[in-house]
Structure 1
Amino acid sequence: MTGLQHLDLSHNNIGDVGAECLTKGAENITLLQRLDLSHYNIGDVGAESLSKGAENMTRLQHLDLSHNNIGDVGAESLSKGMENMTGLQHLDLSHNNIGDVGAESLSKGMENMTELEHLDLSHNNIGDVGAESLSKGMENMTRLRRLDLSHNNIGDVGAESLSKGMENMTLLQRLDLSHNNIGDVGAESLSKGMENMTRLQHLDLSHNNIGDVGAESLSKGMENLTRLQHLDLSHNNIGDVGAESLSKGMKNMTELGHLDLSHNNIGDVGAESLSKGMENMTQLGCLDLSHNNIGDVGAESLSKGMENMTQLEHLDLSHNNIGDVGAESLSKGMENMTRLQRLDLSHNNIGDVGAESLSKGMENMTELQHLDLSHNNIGDVGAQCLNDMMVGKYKSIDIDISHNDIKDIGVEFLSREMKLLKTKNTHLDLSHKCLGNFAAVTLSKLMRI
C-alpha cells in the first residue's frame, strides 16, 4: 500500500495502542495526501506515536485529528511530526484539550505551513497565552481561507495578539471567534486586524460580550466587508448605541444573506438605527432579532427597513414586545416576503387585532412552512382571521398557537382549515388551552380525516 493517497479511519476508538500499531504500518505510506483519524481517542500517547509515523508524510494535504482527547503533551509531539508538512492545506485539531502550552508547541510546527487554507482549533481550552503563541505561528499563513478558534477562552488580550497575526490574511473567507469572551477591548483589536479582510464572507463573533463600545469598534473594521454573506453577533450585550454604530458599518453589506443579532438589548432606538442599515440588504435570507426588547415603535422602524427583503426565508422576532400596534406595522413590511418559509413571532403580547393585521401581511406567503405565534394573547377572533388567511393556501405547514386565549369557537375555525389541508404533514399545537367539550368534539372529527 505504498501508493496509498487517502486513508480514513475516523470513528474507530482504537486508542493510543492502536495508534502506535497504525504508525508502524504507515511508515512507508509516503505518498499519502489525506489522513482522517478524527474521533479516534488516541490521547497524548497515541499522538506521540503518530508524530513519528508522520515524519515522512511530506505530501500530506489534509489532516484531521479532531475529537481525540489530545492534550498539551500530545500537541508538542504532533508539532515535531508536522515540521515537514509544508504542503498541508487543511488541519483540524478541534475538540481536543491542547490548552495554552499545546498551542505554543503547535505554533512552532506550523511556522512553515505557508500553504494552509483551513485551520480549525476550536474547543481546545486555549487562553490568551496560547493565542499569542498561535499568532506568531500564523504570520506566514497568507493563503488561509478558513480560521476557527471558537469555544476557547482567548479573551481581550488574546484577541489583541491574534489581530496582529491576521493582518496578512487578506484571502480569509470564514472567521469564527465565537464563545471567547473577547469583550469590547478585544473587539477593538480585532477590528484593526480585519481591515484588509475584504474577501471575508462569514464572520461569527457571537457570545463574546462586546457591548456597545465593542460594536462601535467593529463597525469601523467592517466597513470594507462588502462581500460578507453571514454575520452573527448574537449574545453580545449590544444596546441601542451599539446598534447605531453597527448600522453604519453594515450599509455596504449588500450581499449579506444571514444576519443574527438575537439576544442583545437593542430596543426600539436600536431597531430604528438598524432599519436604516438594512435598507440595501435585498439578498437577506435569514434575519434573527429575537430577544431584543423591541416594542411597537421599533417594529414600525423595522417594517420600513424590511420592505425590500423579498428574498427573506426565515424571520425571527420572538421574545420581544411588539404588541398589536407593532404587528400592524410589521404586516406592511412583510407584504412582499413571498418566499418566507419560517416566521416566529412568539412571546410578543400580540392579540386579536395584531393577528388580524398579520393575516393581511401574510396573504402572499404561499411558501410558509412554519408559523409560530405561541405565547401571545390571540383569541377566537384572531384565530378566525388566521384561518381565513390560510384557507386552501398550504399543502404542509407547522402551526404553533399554543399559550394563547383561543377557546371553542377559535378551535372550530382552525379545524376547518386543517380539513382543507388534508395532509399528514400538518402540525397544529393547541396545548395549554382550557378547551371545552365542543372543542373536543370538533377536534375528534378533524382527527378522523
Structure 2
Amino acid sequence: MEEREMMEEERESGLVRLCIEAASESKESIEIWRRQRRTLEKMPTPLAEALLRRLLRRRLLYPSLLEVFKHCIEEINLQRENFVDSEWMAYLGAFRNLRTLNIADCKGINNSALWAISGMDCLKDLDLSRCTKVTDAGTLHLISIPNLEKLSVSETSLTVEGVKQLSSLRKLSLLDLGGLPVNDRALRALQELKKLEYLDLWGSKISNNGAGLLKTFVKLRFLNLAWTEVTKVPYLPSLSCLNMSNCSIMSIFEEGYCGVKHPHLARLQLHGVSFTDVHKAFSFIDPSRLSFLDLSNSSLCNFQFLVNMTALEHLDISFSRMEDDSVDLIGRVGATLKFLNFSNTRLRSVGIESLAGFIPIIETLILSHTAVDDFALPYIGMMASLKVLDLSNTNVKGFCHMLGNDQEEILSLIALQNLTRLERLDLEETQVRDGALQPLSCLIHLKFLSLKSDFLTDISLLFLSSFPKLKYLGIRGAVLSSAGIQSFKPPPMLKILDLTDCWLLTEDALLSFRENHPQIEMRHELVHTGSTAQVASGNASPAHGTSRTVQLKPKWVKMSSCPSRFQIENFVDERRKYSREELLELRFSPLSRVSAP
C-alpha cells in the first residue's frame, strides 16, 4: 500500500502536488474550496481522484464532502475503510460517471447499503470481497446494475441460491466467487454468462463432474480452482492462466483433448499440489508457451519436465526438494528467466555455480533459508541484470579465506560490486559483520537494504550513509548505541529507518534523531507510528484525524508539564562499562527482566 501511494505521488507533477497539498492541508482549507462547485464539477478526473485519495489518506474525507466530486470521479478505492456505511453509499450512488468502486473489506457494508447503487448504469466494476454482511438478499440490488462487467463477492455470506441469481448479469467478464460454497448446481446456472473470461472458484465445492461444465465458457482465460476437490481439468483451449494450488492433480487438459492444438496456457500456479503422475499431468500442456510456473511447497523431487519450458520467466520452487544435481535442468531453460525462487530448498553454493552464465537476464533471485555461503557470491556477481537479491538466513559471512591460507580473510561481498542495477538486498539473519559491509557502497542504485544481526555495531553506520538512492534501511537486532544513532548521517533519500530489536537505544536518542530528521519514519519498540482516526459522518466535524505522526510511548502514566529537574547531560549510561559480549549475556539474563523498584 505504501509503495503504491509513493508511486502515485511520483507521477504527479510538482505544481499538481502543491495544489493537492494546499487543498488537503486542513479542514479549514477544505471548507474554502468546497463552495466553488462549478470549478469542482469541471475538475479533470485524474486531478479529482488524486485529491480524493489524499483526503482519504489524511482522514479528512467525510460523506457529505463526497457530493462535490460526483461529476468528476470515475474510480474510487475505499478498501479496508471500516467507517464506510449506508450513508457513504448514499452519496456514492449519486456519482454520475463512477465506473469502478472498491469497497472490499468494509465491515460496515450490508445489504441495505447496496440499495444506493442499485440500477447504477455507469458502474462496471464492483468489489465486495470480504464484506461479510452481504447475503443473498443483497444480490437483488446487484443484479439491477445493468452494465456490470466485473464483480467480486469472494468470502461474503452468499449461498448457492445467491450465486445462482448472478446468472442474470449477462455482461460479466469477471466473476470472483472465491471462498463461497459454489457447487455443481450453481455452476450449471452460471453457464448463461457467455462473456466470462475470469472465474475464481477457490475453496468451492465443485467436483470433477462440475469442472466438466467449464467447457461451456468458451472465452475463459483465467481459472482458479485452488483448495477444491477437482483432480481433472478438462480441455479449455482459450485458458491462459490456471491456479490449482493445494489440489491433488491427476490430469490437466487430458479430458476432451482432440490433438488439434494445445491451450495457450502461460501461467500455472501449483503451490502445495500433489501429483499422481507429474509427467502425465504436464504431457497435455505446451511447455514452450509457459512463462510463469509456481511449484512452491510441493513434494516433487524429479524436475525433468522443466527441460522444454523454454519461455519461462518466473519459476518458484521454494519449499521443494530441489537439490544441486537438479539445478542444471533450470540452466537449460534459463535464457528467459527473470524471477527465480530457491527459498527453503536444499541448494548449496555448488548449485549456484552450475547456474552461472545460464540465466543472463535474471532480475530477482531468492536464496533465503538455503545452505548458500560466501563461495556463491562470485557467481551471483556475474548476474549483471539482478535487481532483487535475497540472501537472508544463509551462511553468508561477508568474509572468506584464501585457498591454502586459513589465516588470511578477504571481503566476499566485493563480488557483488558488478551488480550495478541492484535495487533491493536482504542480508537478514546472516553472520555479516561491520567491516564486511564496506564493498556495498558501490551499489549506487540500491533502494532497499535489510540487515538483522547482533554482529553489527555503530561501525556499520559509517558504511550505510553513502547510498544516494536508499529509501528503506533496516538494521534490526544490531548492537547500536545511542551515541552511534545520534551521529548517524542518513542517506539523502531515506524514508524509513527500521531499528527494531536494537535494544541498547534509549528513548531520548530516538527522539533526538526524529527531531533532526523529521522526514524519516522510524520503527522501534519505543516509538509508536500510527494515525488517529476519528470517523465523522454527516455534517459533523470534517476532520477524521491527523496525518501520520510519530509518538514516543510514555514511560509513566502521567507526566508533569513542568521542566524536568534532571539534566540529560548529567546522565551516565552504565551500559558503557560492559563489553559487547557481556551486554549480550546480560540481555538474556533473568536479571534483565527484573522491574525497577
1:93-132 equivalence runs, <5 A: 93-94=177-178, 96-98=179-181, 102-109=182-189, 116-122=196-202, 125-126=203-204, 130=206, 132=208
Q: Could you tell me which residue of structure 1 aligns to residue 311 of structure 2? A: 227
Q: CA deviation at 1:365?
A: 0.5
Matches within 5 A, 1:310-321: 310-321=384-395
Q: How does 1:127-206 map to 2 (within 5 A)?
A: 130=206, 132-139=208-215, 143-150=219-226, 158-160=248-250, 162=252, 164=254, 170-178=263-271, 181-185=272-276, 190-193=281-284, 195-196=285-286, 198-206=288-296
Tell me how far apart the structure 2 counterparts of residues 376 and 365 of structure 1 sit (CA, whole Å): 24
Give the SS at the match of 1:320: coil
> Are 2:507 and 1:432 equivalent residues in the alignment?
no
Output the TM-score relative to the length of structure 2: 0.53
Partner of 1:307: 381
Matched residue type, 2:292: H
2:397 is aligned, of 317, 323, 326, to 323
Distance in 1, matches of 2:136 and 2:400, equals 57
The structure 2 residue matched to 1:375, chosen from 453, 463, 475, is 453
Task: Give the 3 Å change call, closer, same or farther, for CA 108–395 of structure 1 in structure 2.
Answer: closer
Q: Distance in 1 between matches of 2:99 and 2:225?
A: 26
User: In structure 2, what is the equivalent of residue 42 of structure 1?
Assistant: 134
In 1: Cα distance, 2:135 partner to 2:176 partner: 15
Q: Contact 1:145 / 1:174 at 8 angstroms: preserved in 2? A: no
Judged with a 3 Å threshold, the aligned counterparts in structure 2 of structure 1 residues 445 and 301 are, in CA distance, closer, same or farther, namely closer
Instruction: Decide whether the 8 Å contact of 2:252 with 2:282 is kept in 1.
Output: no
Aligned counterpart, 1:65: 153
Describe the shift of the 1:421–1:22 C-alpha distance in structure 2 as closer, same or farther (beyond 3 A): closer
TM-score, length-normalised on structure 1?
0.68
Name the counterpart of 2:345: 265
Displacement of 1:421:
4.1
Q: Which amino acid aligns with 1:340?
A: L
- Please give the secondary structure, in 2, of the residue aligned with 1:310: coil
Amino acid at match of 1:70: L
Deviations 1:23-82 (A, max 9, x none): 9x65xx9x99935263464323444x479769xx7x87544434432233433444x546
| Equivalent in the alignment of 2:432 | 350
Counting strand residues as a fraction of each chain, which structure ranks higher? 2
AA paired with 1:399?
L
Residues 398 and 413 of structure 2 are in contact (CA less than 8 Å); yes or no, is this contact kept in structure 1?
no
Letter of the 1:171 partner, please give it.
H
Give the aligned residue type for 2:455: N
Aligned-pair CA distance for 1:300? 1.9
**Matches of 2:420 and 2:351 in 1, distance apart?**
25
Give the distance between the partners of 2:254 and 2:98, measured in 1 at CA.
35
Taking a change above 3 Å as real, the CA distance of residues 422 and 232 of structure 1, as seen in their structure-2 partners, is: closer
Match of 2:417 in 1: 335
Whether 2:438 is the aligned partner of 1:359: answer yes
Distance 2:322 2:275 in 1: 15
- Computed over aligned residues only, the root mean square deviation of the Cα atoms, in angstroms, reads 4.5
Shift in Å at residue 7 of structure 1? 6.0
Give the counterpart letter for 2:224 in structure 1. D
Larger Rg: 2
Count of residues paired in the alignment:
391
Structure 1, unaligned runs of 5 or more: none
Instruction: Choose from 176, 184, 201 the match for 1:92.
Output: 176
Give SS of 1:373's match.
strand
C-alpha distance 336-346 of structure 1, shift in aligned 2 (>3 A) = same
The answer to whether the Cα contact below 8 Å between 1:135 and 1:162 also exists between their aligned partners in 2 is: no
Give unmatched runs, 5+ long, in structure 2.
Answer: 1-95, 231-244, 402-409, 518-597
1:210 to 287, 290, 298: 298
Structure (1 or 2) with the greater helix fraction: 1
Q: Distance in 2 between matches of 1:322 and 1:343?
A: 13
* Cα distance between partner residues in 2 of 1:326 and 1:109: 65
In structure 2, distance between residues paired with 1:434 and 1:51: 57
